[in-house]
């Protein structure tokens, strides 16, 4: 008996058990985060989400209220939240949140949640359509799992819980990359420019536009970005824009916080600067904090240089886009919630990738979704009672970098293996054989 085929899409198109397992893992880990933080009581249809629910939308709303009253809206947190809850984006963006001052913050929170869910559904639909067009028509099982990853992953949880706009930014990225692939450079640039106007760091995607020589996209993105900044000057004067660049952007770098090696119990940043801080100050204890950002930029440039080598094939272009987004998210101190930007092209790569590195890339994705606070991991290791040497090693591992960053590094290694056609298993076996031979040569 044939499986049902509603609307021309089968229940299961092809067996992709490893892909399904990775997506199910991401969904389950994310569902646990939702349950742990929203604390639902299904018997009484109640919840206890804690005092940080909607912290982002409450911050946006408060900044808009101050702006409408002609007051400074930078560096000022809502009274009910901590000092960390301050507005961080270019001045003109605060006007988007003016309507939120007309009703209670909880109403605004649900509006932002609804917008993010719609954006997530659009991202999932775009991923499915892309795979349908470039690989094969997916089954409903794949469609459901892809949608679940986008909406329920542990990184999506942060967007929904705090009420930020990361899925909307992810949708802008997806729209930009798809438009670029369809030779609609003006639309692509506008989408990237809009994303950068709200979050600033997406401007790094301009490196990919330069690589492709997409000059119209560069011009369009620049026009949107510069136009938005000028609009902020017209609307609020020069002072907020000067404050944004001189204080807000500078403070977000937080380079001084990394001096001596970034501690495990500090803010959960998924950034290359975290492991680099341990290397730099481990080797050079008196190094100035200013060296960290250039070193991170150098590491990011190395990643792009290595993975931009093949942009002729579909897989090569997707890997290059993935590398671009990895550098975009990890170059500066960014929170793990921004990893929703990796859904495209990461998920399509799970389906279109054939050849060296595919399984390692999928394994790295699964590791990335094991989103756990480094401080909690270090505490758990110390309480478990491991042998002293193993405890020291594990503490160092979880302090050196976050688990999501380890997953990203694994995926980058897989991308390099595919780009340079390296059979990792054989390479490891050969390296092991050479190592054993070298040891025998020394001991004999």
How is residue 9 written in tokens?
Answer: 């899409």
Per domain, the residue ranges of the chain are 255-332+353-444
Secondary structure of the chain in HEC code, one letter for each residue: CCCCCHHHCCCCCCCCHHHHHHHHHHHHHHHHHHHHHHCEECCCCEECCCCCCCHHHHHHHHHHHHHHCCCCCCCCCCCCCCCCCCCCCCHHHHHHHHHHHHCCHHHHHHHHHHHHHHHHHHHHHHHHHHHHHHCCCCCHHHHHHHHHHHHHCHHHHHHHHHCCCHHHHHHHHHHHHHHHHCCCHHHHHHHHHHHHHHHCHHHHHHHHHHHCCCHHHHHHHHHHHHHHHHHHHHHHCHHHHHHHHHHHHHHHHCHHHHCCCCCCCCCCECCCHHHHHHHHHHHCCCCCHHHHHHHHHHHHHHHHHHHCCCCCCHHHHHHHHHHHHHHHHHCCCCEHHHHHHHHHHHHHHHHHCCCCCHHHHHHHHHHHHCCCCHHHHHHHHHHHCCCHHHHHHHHHHHHHCCHHHHHHHHHHHHHHHHHCCCCHHHHHHHHHHHHHHHHHHHHC
Other Cβ atoms closer than 10 A to 123: 27
Collect contacts of 310-315 with beta carbons under 8 A, ≥24 apart. Answer: 310/419, 311/211, 311/212, 314/134, 314/352, 315/349, 315/352, 315/353, 315/354, 315/355, 315/418
For 97, residues 6+ apart whose C-beta sits below 8 A from its C-beta are: 60, 61, 63, 64
Classify burial at 407, counting beta carbons within 10 Å of its beta carbon; exposed 0-12, middle 13-18, buried 19 or more.
Answer: buried
> What is the residue whose two structure tokens read 């301009």?
206
**What is the reported pLDDT for 1?**
35
> What is the residue whose two structure tokens read 């729209």?
175
> What is the residue whose two structure tokens read 């329920």?
152
pLDDT averaged over 10-residue windows placed end to end, the chain, 444 residues: 60 92 97 94 86 95 95 92 91 96 96 98 97 95 98 97 96 96 95 92 91 96 96 95 87 81 94 96 94 95 95 94 96 93 96 91 97 95 92 96 97 95 60 54 49
CA 59 – CA 50 distance, rounded (Å): 16
**What is the reported pLDDT for 43?**
80
**What is the reported pLDDT for 9?**
85
Q: What are phi and psi of 164, to 5 degrees?
A: -95, -170
Q: Are 241 and 229 contacting, i.e. CB atoms less than 8 angstroms apart?
A: yes
**What is the reported pLDDT for 444?**
52
Q: Are 329 and 309 contacting, i.e. CB atoms less than 8 angstroms apart?
A: no
**What is the reported pLDDT for 7?**
64
Rg, Å, the chain Cα set = 23
CA 325 – CA 173 distance, rounded (Å): 10
Q: Are 83 and 191 contacting, i.e. CB atoms less than 8 angstroms apart?
A: no
CA 369 – CA 364 distance, rounded (Å): 9
CA 432 – CA 436 distance, rounded (Å): 6
Terminal-to-terminal C-alpha distance of the chain: 67
């Amino acid at each position: 008996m044939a499986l049902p085929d509603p609307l021309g899409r089968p229940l299961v198109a092809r067996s992709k058990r490893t892909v399904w397992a990775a997506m199910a893992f991401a969904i389950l880990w994310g569902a646990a985060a939702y349950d742990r933080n929203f604390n639902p009581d299904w018997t009484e249809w109640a919840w206890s989400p804690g005092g940080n629910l909607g912290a982002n939308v409450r911050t946006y709303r408060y900044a808009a209220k101050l702006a409408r009253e002609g007051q400074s809206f930078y560096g000022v947190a809502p009274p009910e939240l901590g000092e960390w809850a301050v507005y961080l984006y270019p001045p003109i963006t605060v006007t988007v949140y003016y309507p939120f001052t007309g009703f209670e913050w909880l109403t605004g929170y649900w509006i932002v949640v609804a917008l993010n869910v719609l954006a997530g559904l659009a991202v999932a639909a775009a991923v499915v359509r892309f795979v349908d067009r470039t690989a094969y028509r997916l089954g409903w099982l794949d469609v459901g799992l892809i949608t679940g990853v986008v909406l329920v992953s542990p990184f999506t949880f942060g967007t929904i819980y705090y009420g930020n706009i990361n899925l909307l930014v992810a949708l802008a990225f997806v729209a930009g990359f798809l438009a670029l692939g369809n030779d609609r450079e003006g639309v692509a640039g506008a989408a990237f420019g809009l994303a950068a106007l709200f979050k600033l760091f997406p401007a790094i995607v301009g490196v990919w536009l330069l690589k492709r020589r997409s000059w119209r996209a560069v011009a369009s993105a620049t026009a949107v970005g510069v136009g938005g900044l000028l609009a902020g000057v017209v609307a609020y004067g020069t002072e907020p824009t000067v404050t944004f660049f001189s204080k807000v952007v500078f403070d977000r770098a937080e380079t001084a916080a990394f001096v001596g090696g970034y501690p495990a119990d500090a803010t959960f940043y998924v950034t290359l600067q975290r492991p680099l801080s341990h290397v730099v100050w481990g080797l050079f204890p008196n190094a100035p904090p200013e060296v960290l950002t250039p070193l991170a930029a150098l590491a990011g440039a190395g990643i792009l240089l290595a993975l931009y080598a093949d942009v002729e094939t579909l897989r090569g272009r997707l890997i290059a886009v993935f590398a671009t987004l990895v550098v975009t998210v990890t170059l500066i101190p960014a929170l793990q919630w921004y990893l929703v930007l990796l859904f495209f092209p990461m998920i399509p790569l799970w389906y279109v990738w054939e050849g060296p590195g595919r399984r390692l890339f999928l394994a790295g994705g699964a590791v990335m979704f094991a989103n756990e606070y480094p401080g909690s991991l270090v505490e758990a290791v110390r309480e478990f009672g491991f042998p002293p040497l193993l405890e020291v090693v594990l503490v160092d591992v979880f302090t050196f970098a976050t688990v999501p960053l380890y997953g990203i590094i694994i995926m980058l290694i897989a991308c390099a293996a595919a780009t340079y056609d390296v059979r990792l298993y054989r390479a490891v076996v050969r390296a092991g054989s050479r190592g054993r031979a070298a040891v025998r040569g020394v001991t004999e």
